[in-house]
Structure 1
Amino acid sequence: MAGIAPPGGRAGHAVAVVAFDGVQLLDVTGPVEVFTTANRYGADYDVRVVSASGAGVATSSGLPIGVHAGPSGLPRRLGTLLVPGRTDWRSAVADTALVELVAGLSGRAGRVASVCAGAFLLAAAGLLDGRRAATHWELAPELATAYPAVRVEADPLFVRDGEVVTSAGVSAGIDLALSLVEEDWGADVARRTARHLVVFMARPGGQAQFGAGLTPGRPRHPSVRRVMDHVAGDPAGCHTLGSLAAVGGVSARHLGRLFRDELGLTPGQYVESVRLEAARRLLDDGTGTVEEVARRAGFGSSESLRRVFQHTLGVSPTAYRTRFRTTAGSRHLVSRPPAPAGTGVTEEAGALSARG
């Protein structure tokens, strides 16, 4: 990998990146690119990719990558141990040699970080017990179930708890690495690195804006099922606690108790979550103005919709629509006049490119 200091190279802040068969390619290369790019602007990272056997690995995409060494080829003390993940985390944590590698190297590192499903390997090594941790939003419930001693947070792009830092899915490893660069070498070095890589210094919002929203299991109690179906069928309807209780055929107090027991939500929170998902679908489809989306989804006004979006997703409805409706807005095409006839040059738009 270009830009990585070879074994025996200059001594700096030693970063060991664990590689193994099935590892997600960007989990490895994203942070490595951040650290090695930061060296152009004043950082001093000595980045080594390591596997348990010292042999190269096949990544999740099928692309093989080489490594610098096995664990014995690393510096005795590490500044950072970074553990990527693989979507099939069960296979990763079942690899005893891999878990032992992570546990052993963690004792030599000043701090430990993981990307995406790498959090499962940290948990298997006992490094997340009693700590807050993040992982990919789709895997967060599985991490919480498999390792109940871990306090899983599903929304943040990365979470720091002491000297352990865990990040969300795939590209969030870049956000994580930039935060570590800033911590080690200051905001200016991190900012220049981010600009060169054409990424946000701090990405707006959290993981919730990428997630699929609330998908509660089918409740056992028929009253709760009737109410859920009623709300889902008409998100913009007038859904007061009294009217929902009437739909369920129970008292308002009993309905609230049933919702908390079955879903962990109040009826009002469930109504808001359904309306939020309805608004997201309308924004994704490009249907109407934000004010119209708010009305059709049941929020009444764009200001009410904005407050819920900011509180729940960390972004405004307008920003959400810009990011998720289409890629066309990011092309920044430059119009050019038609070329003179006979020149053999076709009319085209030139895309602006960022230069380091």
Structure 2
Amino acid sequence: MIEPRRIVVVGYHAAELIDIACVTSALVMANWLRRSALYDPTVATPGGRPIVCGSGLTLQAESALERVTGPVDTVLVSGGIGHVQAAADPVLVAHVRRLARDARRVASVCTGAGILAASGVLDGRRAATHWFHADDLAASYPQVCFDPAPIYIRDGNLATSAGVTSALDLTLSFIEEDGGADLARSVARHMVTYLQRPGNQAQMSVFTSAPSAAGDVVRRVVDRITADPGGDLTTANLAAVAGVSERHLTRLFLQDLGETPGRFVRRARVEAAAHLLVTTALTVERIAVRCGFGSAESLRQAFTTRYGVAPSHYRRTQSATGGATTPGRGSGVDPLAVQLAR
């Protein structure tokens, strides 16, 4: 039998519990659904001591970081409000560097990228992190290109993700890589989450749930649409991107998603606009342009058709401050919730 993959999750004082639990829970769920151990996850902390997470809850460690010997399959550093102190701990950073040297895969969640940066692992590389902390990390580690936009980045054997629940998206990508797409989708369904968000989907634009498309062609095209809803998304252009004919692309979309590429694009654009209405102070005119509508009136018509209310009404009722929000600080209400406000 194949030995389970050793996954070492590095924790420390004031780490974010969700960063850790999203990873370990998904891996254990994969084992359960597979009915065999694909993974052997371990939470390792300095000295093997319990840690008080940023939420105030205490988490018991399973291993002392100093005693973990390689090679391991994956070493993943969690984020949290204690990341600055952790990155300044030379012992912790040295052990992360030691384990990363021989690991098949090196990863971080949220501000855990700062600890990887302190170890030198990310030098000259592009890394994802939580949008709120990206500027501070970039100032502290100028040798790393921190990108606040995508929910995760895979670069060779390095994988870095954005904040908090994006840890689950990253872990699902690991499960798909290691155990196949069917296993990843089963884990996502059991954890009642998206099936699954593509890594290049923007942190500030998590408006469209990724489809359960089985085909690589449809998945690749959907990734393109959700990454840039304001781009040239005609069926002809999308077919060229996919390397198939327009007729074949339409057939694949109907087979996998039950709708044509054009209808999917329109839905994605309306959902993108709904997200921007409650998370930014952009004018409706600017949102229309950003989301691929020719005018504010075109957006209004499409929005009203889908949700039954005008964009201005949606912003007024669903935004935490009636539209005067800053990026990422909106109500967090799912666009579909507008139907409940009618």
Q: Is the 8 A contact 1:52 1:101 kept in 2?
A: no
Q: Is the 8 A contact 2:151 2:202 kept in 1?
A: yes
User: 1:101, CA displacement in angstroms?
Assistant: 1.9
The correspondence for 1:24, drawn from 16, 36, 43, is 16
Partner of 1:46: 40
In structure 2, do the counterparts of structure 1 residues 22 and 181 end up closer, same or farther at CA, with 3 Å as the change threshold? same
Q: Distance in 2 between matches of 1:45 and 1:100?
A: 25
Q: Which amino acid aligns with 2:333?
A: T
Q: Are positions 1:307 and 2:289 aligned together?
A: no
User: 1:89, CA displacement in angstroms?
Assistant: 2.9
Q: Where in structure 2 are the equivalents of 1:58-69 lying within 5 Å?
A: 58-69=52-63
Partner of 2:28: 36
Q: Is the 8 A contact 2:54 2:82 kept in 1?
A: no
User: 1:40, CA displacement in angstroms?
Assistant: 1.7
Q: Which runs of 5+ in 1 are unaligned?
A: 1-9, 211-278, 286-292, 310-315, 334-356
User: 1:281, CA displacement in angstroms?
Assistant: 9.4
User: 1:325, CA displacement in angstroms?
Assistant: 6.4
In structure 2, do the counterparts of structure 1 residues 306 and 27 end up closer, same or farther at CA, with 3 Å as the change threshold? same
Secondary structure (helix, strand or coil) at the match of 2:48 reads coil
Partner of 2:326: none
Q: Are positions 1:326 and 2:311 aligned together?
A: no
Q: Which amino acid aligns with 2:165?
A: S
Partner of 1:171: 165
In structure 2, do the counterparts of structure 1 residues 161 and 49 end up closer, same or farther at CA, with 3 Å as the change threshold? same
Q: Distance in 2 between matches of 1:16 and 1:298?
A: 48
Partner of 1:206: 202
Q: Where in structure 2 are the equivalents of 1:119-268 lying within 5 Å?
A: 119-203=113-197, 205-209=201-205
Q: Distance in 2 between matches of 1:123 and 1:305?
A: 33
In structure 2, do the counterparts of structure 1 residues 75 and 14 end up closer, same or farther at CA, with 3 Å as the change threshold? farther
Secondary structure (helix, strand or coil) at the match of 2:142 reads coil
Q: Are positions 1:297 and 2:284 aligned together?
A: yes
In structure 2, do the counterparts of structure 1 residues 332 and 182 end up closer, same or farther at CA, with 3 Å as the change threshold? farther
- Per the normalisation by structure 2, the TM-score is 0.62
Q: Is the 8 A contact 2:29 2:187 kept in 1?
A: yes
Structure number having the greater helix percentage: 2
Q: Is the 8 A contact 2:71 2:99 kept in 1?
A: no
Secondary structure (helix, strand or coil) at the match of 1:195 reads helix
In structure 2, do the counterparts of structure 1 residues 161 and 201 end up closer, same or farther at CA, with 3 Å as the change threshold? same
Q: Distance in 2 between matches of 1:164 and 1:328?
A: 33
User: 1:209, CA displacement in angstroms?
Assistant: 2.9
Report the aligned-residue RMSD.
Answer: 3.4
Partner of 2:211: none
Q: Are positions 1:103 and 2:90 aligned together?
A: no
Q: Is the 8 A contact 1:49 1:68 kept in 2?
A: yes
User: 1:324, CA displacement in angstroms?
Assistant: 5.2
Superposed CA offset, 1:17-69 (max 9, x none): 11111111101111111111011222610011111201211111111111111
Q: Is the 8 A contact 2:10 2:65 kept in 1?
A: no
Q: Distance in 1 between matches of 2:85 and 2:6?
A: 28
Partner of 1:79: 73
